[in-house]
Amino acid sequence: MGQQHNTHVYNNTGDDIKIVLTDSDDRNTTHVLRDQEVTCIPTPHGTNTVSVFEKENNKSNFKDLADASYTNYSDRSFIVKRNLEGHVQIVRSVYGSVRTEETSMQQKRYF
C-alpha cells in the first residue's frame, strides 16, 4: 500500500447518502453518512473516486446508480452538497478544513 493518505467526505445535502470511495488499489470503501456527518477514509497514494448514492423515492433503499462522482488525487477531501436545482454534487474542500469549499475566487464554509 505505499504512503497512506486520508480522504474526508462531508455530507451537506440535508439527507442521508451512501458514498463509495474507490482508491488507486481498486478497493471500495462504503459509508452511509447522515446529514452534517464527516467520514475519514485511509487511502494509498494515487487517485480516488468518490461516488454518491441517494435514497430511492421510497426512502428505504439507496439507488443502484451513482447520482454524482468525482475523481481526484489522494489526500484530498470532499463536500457533498446540493446545487441550485437540488441535484447532488461533489466539490473539493480546502486542505485542512473539511467543511470549507475550495473555489477559485472564494471559500465557502458550511456548518
Residue-range domains of the chain with CATH: 4-101 (2.60.40.2890)
Neighbour tally for 77: CB within 10 Å: 24
What cell was used for 110? 458550511
pLDDT for 50-82, tens place per residue?
999 999 987 889 999 999 999 988 878 999 999
Residue 45: phi, psi to the nearest 5? -60, 135
pLDDT for 21-47, tens place per residue?
999 999 999 999 999 999 999 999 999
Q: Which one-letter DSSP state was computed for residue 58?
A: T
CA distance 53 to 63: 6
Among residues 52, 56, 50, the alpha carbon closest in space to that of 83 is found at: 52
Q: Provide the whole-model pTM.
A: 0.87
